[in-house]
């Protein structure tokens, strides 16, 4: 039977402003990992799990499906779909883990200390690392904002030490030079369909907020606006060169109604869809 030790004073605690917060510190023996029946999950904060014993484990995301076991550190990033656990019904593992959030960890993700392209690492001296992680669960939680910030810095130091002392346990993904082109391609595709922007960020191996900021810096527009502009471009082309009614164009491109489409087209071109069509196909006199 699996046994769970959890620092309940951290779970569900109110988050205050500051550098960061350790929101969960736990240990589980005889567990089976993330219980989602093998489907991906998206976690709302950063986390890592250090597997300390057991076998039969695997980690899966959009880019990899690899075996993991004792000594594996599996990092989790906000909003990035993933799954890890044991696939053999007779197998289990032991793990210790932390979940954390805050600006200090966002900066760590932006600078590569927390690298979404390398979610798995492998460490030696397993007893040493387990003891360091367990320290956060077994000691008294901090009660002041300053003490919580200090603890967040300790968590970041632990993550930095993991990176300095470990080997990458799976190949990195999506070369940095490709991420923008891949993003633009996904944002331009099927503009009439709903697109999960977080899924695009995951596809290029970035936390959503990091990807959004980098995309805006590179293109001058946030991803949502970039995709909306592509929808408007398509609406303008259909208004000019197709026989579709304005209402049909609005429905096909996912606008809430005809007036919503007209407002966007007028803001972009200074004309309504009907005026664009008349301009493109003028009547000829006899």
Burial of residue 110, with CB atoms counted within 10 A of its CB: 0-12 exposed, 13-18 middle, 19 or more buried? middle
Q: How many CB atoms lie within 10 A of CB 205?
A: 26
Q: Which of 115, 144, 168 is the last residue of a domain?
A: 168
For residue 40, what pLDDT is reported? 81
DSSP 116-159: TT--EEE-S-HHHHHHHHHHHHHSPPP-SHHHHHHHHHHHHHHH
CB distance 71 to 124 below 8 Å? yes
Instruction: Establish if 83 belongs to a structural domain.
Output: yes
| C-alpha neighbours within 13 Å on the C-beta side of residue 285 | 0
Q: For residue 239, what are the domain limits?
A: 176-280
For residue 238, what pLDDT is reported? 87
DSSP H/E element including 50? strand 46-54
pTM of the model as a whole: 0.58
Q: What is the mean pLDDT of each run of 10 residues along the chain (286 residues)?
A: 48 62 89 70 91 88 85 92 84 91 92 89 89 89 89 94 69 60 86 86 83 90 92 88 87 89 92 85 49
For residue 77, what pLDDT is reported? 94
143/10 same-domain check: yes
Domains contained in the chain, number: 2
For residue 171, what pLDDT is reported? 46
Q: Which of 168, 201, 229 is the last residue of a domain?
A: 168
126/187 same-domain check: no
Instruction: Establish if 286 belongs to a structural domain.
Output: no
β-bridge partners, 84: 59
Q: Which of 168, 190, 222 is the last residue of a domain?
A: 168
For residue 192, what pLDDT is reported? 84
13/92 same-domain check: yes
CB distance 187 to 223 below 8 Å? yes
151/199 same-domain check: no
27/164 same-domain check: yes
Tokens of 124: 């030696």
104/241 same-domain check: no
180/163 same-domain check: no
For residue 225, what pLDDT is reported? 93
Q: What is the CATH number of the domain that holds 252?
A: 1.10.10.60
For residue 1, what pLDDT is reported? 42
Instruction: Establish if 285 belongs to a structural domain.
Output: no
């Amino acid at each position: 039977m699996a046994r769970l030790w959890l620092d309940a004073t951290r779970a569900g605690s109110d988050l205050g402003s500051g550098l960061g917060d350790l929101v969960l510190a736990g240990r589980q023996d005889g567990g089976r990992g993330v219980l989602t029946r093998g489907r991906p999950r998206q976690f709302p904060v950063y986390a890592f799990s250090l597997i300390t014993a057991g076998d039969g484990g695997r980690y899966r995301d959009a880019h990899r499906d690899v075996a993991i076991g004792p000594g594996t550190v599996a990092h989790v990033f906000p909003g990035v779909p993933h799954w890890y656990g044991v696939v053999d019904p007779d197998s289990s593992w032991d793990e210790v883990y932390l979940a954390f959030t805050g600006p200090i960890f966002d900066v760590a993700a932006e600078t590569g200390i927390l690298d979404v392209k390398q979610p798995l690492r492998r460490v030696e001296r397993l007893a040493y690392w387990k003891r360091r992680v367990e320290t956060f669960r077994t000691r008294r939680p901090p009660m002041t904002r300053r003490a919580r910030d200090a603890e967040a810095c300790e968590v970041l130091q632990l993550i930095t030490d993991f990176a300095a002392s470990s080997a990458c346990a799976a190949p990195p993904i999506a070369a940095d030079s490709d991420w923008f082109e891949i993003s633009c391609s996904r944002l331009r595709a099927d503009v009439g369909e709903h697109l999960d922007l977080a899924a695009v960020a995951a596809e290029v191996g970035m936390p959503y907020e990091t990807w959004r900021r980098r995309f805006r810096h590179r293109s001058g527009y946030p991803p949502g606006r970039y995709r909306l502009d592509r929808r408007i471009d398509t609406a303008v082309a259909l208004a000019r060169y197709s026989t579709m009614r304005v209402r049909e164009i609005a429905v096909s491109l996912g606008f809430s109604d005809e007036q919503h489409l007209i407002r966007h087209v007028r803001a972009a071109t200074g004309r309504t869809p009907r005026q664009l069509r008349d301009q493109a196909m003028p009547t000829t006199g006899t």
